[in-house]
Structure 1
Amino acid sequence: MPKKKTKAPPIQQILKKIRPAWVEHVGSELARGMEVRAGFEKQLGRFFDLLEQSVTTGDPAWMDSILLDWAKSSTETNLEDGLYHVSFLINRMIALTIQVANETLTKQQSLDLLAAIIPIYTYGLGVVARYEMETRVAHISAEMEKVQKQMERVDRSKSAFISVAAHELKTPLTLIEGYSSMMEDLTGEQKSEQLKSLLAGMTTGVGRLRIIVDDMIDVSMIDNDLLRLNFQPAQIGTLLEALRKEVESAAQNRKLSVALSNFEGSRQWIYLDSIRITQALRNVISNAIKFTPDDGTIKIDGRLLPGFIEVTVTDTGIGISLENQNRIFEKFGQLGSVGRHSSGRTKFKGGGPGLGLPIARGILEAHGGSVWVESPGYDEKACPGSTFHILIPARTEAPDPKMTKLFDKLGRKDEIPDDPAQ
């Protein structure tokens, strides 16, 4: 008589058979310490109950509740380090389940078990991985937002300090200027050489401090959108020619050549705040002088673009590294050693408060323009140089129509041809 084949036990019986060994193995490997292990084994019991339910019903969604509970228990350290501990647990459970099945069941029972539960484990991995990734992204986003808010607070504090410090310095500085002028008047022609030297030094020092205080006030106004522009018709070429003459003496002392081209658009009448645009151009040109070695060249050129006039300031200086080409337009973003810190505008590689270029950018952006720099890099020996690009809107009308009518009545367009170069 042939032997009857033994009927394979239902998968539920197989699960019950391996449960004690499974809980023992998983608990021993994944939990440390008796107290931790006891609590974890309760969780494993719940996990196994839901695993059985999923196998019985064929619906792996029964696992969602415990998997999400575990995933939500991720610590701050797990999130900061990017550790996905529940995914790791599930992967280890799969490996330990295979091990327990091989040790406890027949080969066929083991295959039947794995065929039933591997899809559920795979589903669980997907649920956990998706949740952990979403949690990680949310954590990183929250951290970035926190850092952004901290940076904004620091920037506001910095701006507030600049504003308060500038206005607090302005009053005593005005008094010093007044008393210095009074001393100059009272002594008249009777001053000794020593007194003349002392008064000259005081005047120079007060003048430098006045420039710094005024720059601080300008930065404060730019940061708080309080910069007011007085639009009037002007020619970029005229402003640049005045600046060239202004820096001529300092350039000669450094044996620098400052060349100004009569480019297309330089004699075109446009509406701008000539005082503020001159200030912005001065800051850029002074920066070029400061970082160009003696015997170097600074070339001021430009061109007419649709809606804009572009001014370029090209030097044969030490250049600017790529990583610093944005930084130089930030407040206090001066480069170089603090040991060279100086308020001088033309001393080679002299430091400063680092406000000139940020002010230039703020003025130009308030006009609707922009400024940026191009440089092959930083090299004090090869001196690759830099080119600053300044875009100024070519406004044919002032923002206030009344201002446009006023200057039209004065006949400004008849004074000088629009552009002799055309």
Structure 2
Amino acid sequence: MGQLSIVELEQENQRLLLLQRVALLASENRTRSEFFAVTLAELQRFFCVDGGGIYLYSNIDSPRILTAHLGIDSQLARELQKIPVGQGLTEQVLQSNLPYNWTDLRGAPNLYCQAVLDAGWRSLLVVPVKTAQQTIGALFLFQRISRQFSHPEIELLERICRILANAIAMTELLEKLEWQQQQANAGQHELERSRAQLRAHLLRLEESYRGLEQTNRSKTRFLGVASHELRTPLTYILSAAELLQLKLPEAEEEVLELIATVEQGALRLQSLVEDLLEMARIESRDLYLAKEPLDLGQLLTALQLAFSTQPNAREISLTLTPLPANCTLLGDRHHLQRALQRLLDNAVKFTPPEGRIQVNTCSCEQSELYNKRLTLEKFCPDFFAKPLADEYLLLQIRDTGSGIAPDQQQNIFDTFQSAAKLKHHGNNPKTGTVSGIGLGLPLARGIIEGHGGMIWVDSPADGESGSIFHVLLPLHHLLRDPGIKP
């Protein structure tokens, strides 16, 4: 009796050693296939079986994958892999989630793969591989003789299968973590690459911006120098034309017409030179603007008088609405009147005969401007970055011309962008418009923005043809801090 106890203790010791070896294998840094192969070899040696294998699956309805096998040739392994879900002896164990031992396969009613009998299999033990949460596969051992596994042997295999299941779960977790780490590393690499590209792109943009600034400064200097250089010969031409008219009062009519043509061309060129000089001063922020109280009524009266003397305005009606009370402006009368005159000339230029031009004026509160901020910033992005007046004068010049397409309304204020070249504006042959060089509206904008205001254009809300140019000028009140919003 004492000798039997020693045998039992030795057997238990061997079982514990096997568990230790399998646990050690699970803790080593091996691939899954290596771990399964070494484990099956340990089980074959310990249980003295002819072979075995391990089925794994991701969920109950997924195919059972013969992940590892020992003592099974490749042809039989392919046959075992073909067993459909829900069929065969292994499926019986997976559904019951309990181990089962077939001592003689020849009488097994649920045997699906008859090829195992041809391979000489007689007994089979299948043990589910499961974690505490779920079953993930099955371990099977076979022998070519009839065999009944003992209860301690089956318990030992169940414990080994739990080690297998936990090792598989840990391996999958580590694989996921490794994949996530690879993704993170790839993302970090891509981020660093994107940052490098962004830095290179920013450097190129800075270089381009500096180049554009230099080009713009060169252009402004050229305009200023060229305009100054043109002034002297133009003075000679105009003086000569005037002198010829005085010296040859009784010359032939054709000669006098030629002299008049020369004088008109020189005057037009002189006007162009003055515009170029003024644009150069505006772009270089070198234009002096006086700050003196202005009477808006006198400005509009002067505009109305100038309008009545224009030959192409005789068939166009001009209407001025009454001025709002207490409209005091602070600015440069000469430049401001010229800016408004340019806008009125532009309206006349693109209004057909028997058309109408209407000049409306009203006061505008600061809060109203903030409500239109998204629209106004398209025409003057810096307007809201500076201190705003409490109240503004809004002057609107509305014509009944062909109008300006919405996608082109911002472009007409660009330098050398003639409005007559834009689609839907000035394309009516009845207006008789002649394309200019595109300085009138940019000059008007520069003067108005120099007075702390802004200008924009849109189409009439009532659906009629034409355009409305809006001029915003601060009234003579204290300025409010830009951080204070209504």
- TM-score bracket for this pair, using the shorter chain length: 0.5 to 0.7
1:146 alignment partner in structure 2: 207
The 1:195/1:11 distance shift into structure 2, 3 A limit, reads: farther
Of 139-148 and 348-357, more deviation after overlay is shown by: 139-148
1:222 alignment partner in structure 2: 282
Matched, 1:395 2:479: no
2:348 alignment partner in structure 1: 289
2:407 alignment partner in structure 1: 323
> For each residue in 1:306-333, what CA deviation from the matched residue of structure 2 results, as whole angstroms up to 9, or x when unmatched?
5332211011111122222222112112
Q: For the aligned residues, what is the CA RMSD?
A: 3.4
Q: 2-side partners of 1:220 and 1:121: how far apart?
A: 59
Match for 1:272 among 323, 327, 331? Answer: 331
Q: CA deviation at 1:170?
A: 1.1
- Tell me which amino acid in the other structure corresponds to 1:184: Q
Identity among equivalent pairs (%): 28
Q: CA deviation at 1:156?
A: 1.8
Matched, 1:171 2:232: yes
Matched, 1:250 2:310: yes
The 1:375/1:147 distance shift into structure 2, 3 A limit, reads: farther
Question: Where does structure 2 lack aligned partners over 5 or more consecutive residues?
Answer: 1-10, 35-166, 365-389, 479-486
Q: 2-side partners of 1:11 and 1:257: how far apart?
A: 97
Q: Report how many aligned residue pairs link the two structures.
A: 297
> For each residue in 1:211-270, what CA deviation from the matched residue of structure 2 results, as whole angstroms up to 9, or x when unmatched?
1100000001111111112334331121122122212243655622122222214x8454
> Where does 1:114-153 land on structure 2 (aligned, <5 Å)?
114-115=175-176, 117-153=178-214
Q: CA deviation at 1:175?
A: 1.0
> Where does 1:10-159 land on structure 2 (aligned, <5 Å)?
12-14=29-31, 111=172, 114-115=175-176, 117-159=178-220
Match for 1:194 among 206, 231, 254? Answer: 254
Match for 2:443 among 317, 342, 359? Answer: 359
Q: 1-side partners of 2:173 and 2:265: how far apart?
A: 91
SS of residue in 2 equivalent to 1:263 = coil
Q: Which has the higher contact order (CA 8 A, sep 6+)?
A: 1
1:204 alignment partner in structure 2: 264
1:368 alignment partner in structure 2: 452
The 1:116/1:218 distance shift into structure 2, 3 A limit, reads: closer
- Tell me which amino acid in the other structure corresponds to 2:360: D
- Tell me which amino acid in the other structure corresponds to 1:372: W
Q: 1-side partners of 2:396 and 2:242: how far apart?
A: 40
- Tell me which amino acid in the other structure corresponds to 1:374: D
> For each residue in 1:173-192, what CA deviation from the matched residue of structure 2 results, as whole angstroms up to 9, or x when unmatched?
1111111111111113x132
- Tell me which amino acid in the other structure corresponds to 1:194: E
The 1:110/1:230 distance shift into structure 2, 3 A limit, reads: closer
Of 166-175 and 300-309, more deviation after overlay is shown by: 300-309
- Tell me which amino acid in the other structure corresponds to 2:302: A
> For each residue in 1:147-204, what CA deviation from the matched residue of structure 2 results, as whole angstroms up to 9, or x when unmatched?
333332332222122112211111111111111111111113x132112211221121
Q: TM-score w.r.t. structure 2 length? A: 0.54
> For each residue in 1:285-318, what CA deviation from the matched residue of structure 2 results, as whole angstroms up to 9, or x when unmatched?
1111122222211111101345332211011111
Match for 2:434 among 345, 350, 353? Answer: 350
- Tell me which amino acid in the other structure corresponds to 1:260: L
Q: CA deviation at 1:336?
A: 4.5
Question: Where does structure 1 lack aligned partners over 5 or more consecutive residues?
Answer: 18-106, 398-422
> For each residue in 1:29-66, what CA deviation from the matched residue of structure 2 results, as whole angstroms up to 9, or x when unmatched?
xxxxxxxxxxxxxxxxxxxxxxxxxxxxxxxxxxxxxx
1:81 alignment partner in structure 2: none
- Tell me which amino acid in the other structure corresponds to 1:356: G
- Tell me which amino acid in the other structure corresponds to 2:271: I
Q: TM-score w.r.t. structure 1 length? A: 0.62
Q: 2-side partners of 1:9 and 1:196: how far apart?
A: 113
- Tell me which amino acid in the other structure corresponds to 1:286: D
Greater C-alpha radius of gyration = 2
Cα pair 1:319 1:376 within 8 Å, conserved: no
Q: 2-side partners of 1:251 and 1:176: how far apart?
A: 26
Q: 1-side partners of 2:222 and 2:431: how far apart?
A: 28
